Amino acid sequence: MAGRRKPGGELVLLPMGGMGEIGMNAYAYGLGSSARRKWILVDCGVKFGDERDPGIDVILPDVRYLANEARNLLGIFLTHGHEDHIGAVTWLWPQLRCPVYCTPFTAELLKRKLAEAGLLGEVPLRVVPLGGTADVGNFSVEFVSVTHSIPEPSALAIRTPAGTVLHSGDWKLDPTPTIPPLMDIDRLTEIGTEGVDVLVCDSTNVLREGHSPSESEISDNLAHIISEATGRVAITTFASHVGRITSIAQAARANGREVVVAGRAMHNIISAAREVGLLKDSNSFRDQTEYGYLPKDKVVLLCTGSQGEPRAAMARIAADNHPDITLDKGDLVIFSSKTIPGNEKSVGELLNRLADQQVEVITSDDALVHTSGHPRQDELRQFYGWIKPKLLVPMHGEARHLAKQMEFAVECGIPATAHAAAGQILRLAPDKAEIVDEVPGGRLHVDGRLIVPSVEGPSRKRRKLAHVGVVAVSLVIDGSGRMADDPQTVLDGLPEETETGYEFFELVLDVIEEAYESIPRKRRHIDEVVQEKLRQSIRRRVETEWGKRPIVHVMIHRV
């Protein structure tokens, strides 16, 4: 990309999430010299916690650098309404405080989230029509319709004096989606002809050859499966997948069945889709309270819980504790979804519970009941041909996905590739792409109602607690250095007895007495000395008997 320098300074990319991972998408584009740079943020999403982060449900990108640059942040641009692209807005907007730009359906979803957070009247929400353009500072951002697994996904053509970037967002090539709009191939081709310096592109499915199936194929397959069912049919899928909801409704009604909806998230998405003119027949969906009054062969249940979420409708149904819905032997459950990495255990438990109820289960491993919203290699090759970028930067993928797309792009004739990790500033234009700076970044955890650090936050200590337990000791020491009372001890997460049958509680009391007596009388008045001696002694002795060293807390009280 060397050549005559364009006016306007450098165009840079600062990934804050989504590079080297699936989810938590947040990509900042900067324009100008390092001292006078203006920024826009594309997407502001979350990841969801797993067993590696006990007690953490939501993970956010650390945007402290942009927060410090908030006066130079011109806007947040959202490509579509999935949680990994919009879920962090309500958490992080108070730090960023800038307008948010998105298409109508994404705006409808965001409004509901902002209302729950008490921010609806505070966040400047700018609704951009499909195919529309928003100009902020020296950035001109055009929303170009693509196809994905949610309504109104957009690629963003970001034009600046220093160069043009096409940020693909999440996409696939689907010639027959069940909901509009179609991918605007003509406009993408025109943008490619005008000249694209950089394509920043979805890498999720780059490891797979061929072409992703169309949503219309899923609709046909669901209709066939439902036509052969004799009992109730329950289908669980991603709540945001309005196209799949449409497919399920069409398949059900083609077989003379009513659609019953269960799950708050599913109701919310259907309501949002109706607000923007999608799912116009959604008033004919039945509420879960009507489920028990419909004949078994006249109902299709549409519900949340495809990832084994414990509070979702399908988990409660499988546990037989849902207030309105039960399944019987011979009924059919279809998982019209894929299992997101990290959710395998919870989904497996759900499948086993359904099997215990003698319910038949069909997953995407058994039949074509789900298709991805991301491009495989044949789709990427076509996309490259339309855009004709000078430089390819992969995003939305783990390390192996990013490396494969750079390799694949070179095979397809793209002249150059580059990659940046979270927190690295990558110069895109006008000169050769390279890392020019690095800023603080990483992840934040949502712990209950609080945002806390990820590395040194409470989940780190919880991980250790989960493996080794805790011993808490309270000592009362008088002025002469003697214990004024028997020590008080609490053991959590330790076995009851040693291998020889000696209670760990008694063992710890013995260690406390021995260790305390070994401390010279003159040093017993120093709390830190007493605490460290007891802590080390307890840990060593417990490890000898158990093979693990617990966390030990010693509290000193002086009288």
Percent helix, strand, coil in the chain (nearest 5)? 35, 25, 40
Please report the pLDDT score of residue 450 as a whole number. 84
CB 550 within 8 A of CB 470: yes
Amino acid at site 441 = G
Please report the pLDDT score of residue 180 as a whole number. 84
Nearest alpha-carbon partner for 428 in 64, 133, 166: 166
Please report the pLDDT score of residue 1 as a whole number. 40
Q: Give CATH for domain 469-558.
A: 3.10.20.580
Cα separation of 272 and 150, whole Å?
Answer: 12
The DSSP output letter for 302 is E
Torsions phi, psi of 238, nearest 5?
-65, 130
What are the DSSP calls for 348-411, one per residue? Answer: HHHHHHHHHTT-EEE-TTTSS----SS--HHHHHHHHHHH--SEEEEESB-HHHHHHHHHHHHH
Cα separation of 142 and 166, whole Å?
Answer: 9
No. of helices (H) and no. of strands (E), the chain: 15, 28
Please report the pLDDT score of residue 4 as a whole number. 43
401: CB partners within 8 A, 6+ apart: 203, 204, 206, 207, 394
161: CB partners within 8 A, 6+ apart: 6, 7, 8, 31, 138
Amino acid at site 39 = W
Cα separation of 43 and 158, whole Å?
Answer: 14
546: CB partners within 8 A, 6+ apart: 494, 495, 498, 504
Q: Which residues pair with 452 in a beta bridge?
A: 445
The DSSP output letter for 113 is H
Please report the pLDDT score of residue 458 as a whole number. 78
Residue ranges, the chain, pLDDT below 50: 1-6
Which residues of the chain form CATH 3.40.50.10710? Answer: 215-362
Please report the pLDDT score of residue 34 as a whole number. 84
Whether domain 11-210+372-443 has CATH 3.20.130.10? no
Whether domain 215-362 has CATH 3.40.50.10710? yes
Please report the pLDDT score of residue 296 as a whole number. 94
Burial class (CB in 10 A: 0-12, 13-18, 19+), 470: middle
DSSP-based three-state secondary structure for 470: strand
Please report the pLDDT score of residue 5 as a whole number. 44
- Burial code of 326-360, b = ≥16 C-beta within 10 A, e = fewer? ebeeebbbbbbbbbbebbeebbeebbebbeebebb
Q: Could you give the maximum distance between any two Cα atoms of the chain, in Å?
A: 88
Which residues of the chain form CATH 3.10.20.580? Answer: 469-558
DSSP-based three-state secondary structure for 415: coil
Q: Which residues pair with 451 in a beta bridge?
A: 446
The DSSP output letter for 308 is -
Which residues of the chain form CATH 3.60.15.10? Answer: 11-210+372-443
DSSP-based three-state secondary structure for 529: helix
- Burial code of 475-504, b = ≥16 C-beta within 10 A, e = fewer? bbbeeebeeeeebebebeebeeeeeeeeeb
DSSP-based three-state secondary structure for 142: strand
Cα separation of 135 and 361, whole Å?
Answer: 50
Nearest alpha-carbon partner for 176 in 256, 110, 250: 250
Please report the pLDDT score of residue 3 as a whole number. 40
Average pLDDT, the chain: 92
Cα separation of 547 and 439, whole Å?
Answer: 42
Model-level pTM? 0.89
Angle ∠(431,195,98) on CA atoms, nearest 5:
75
Torsions phi, psi of 397, nearest 5?
180, 160
Please report the pLDDT score of residue 8 as a whole number. 61
CB 244 within 8 A of CB 215: yes
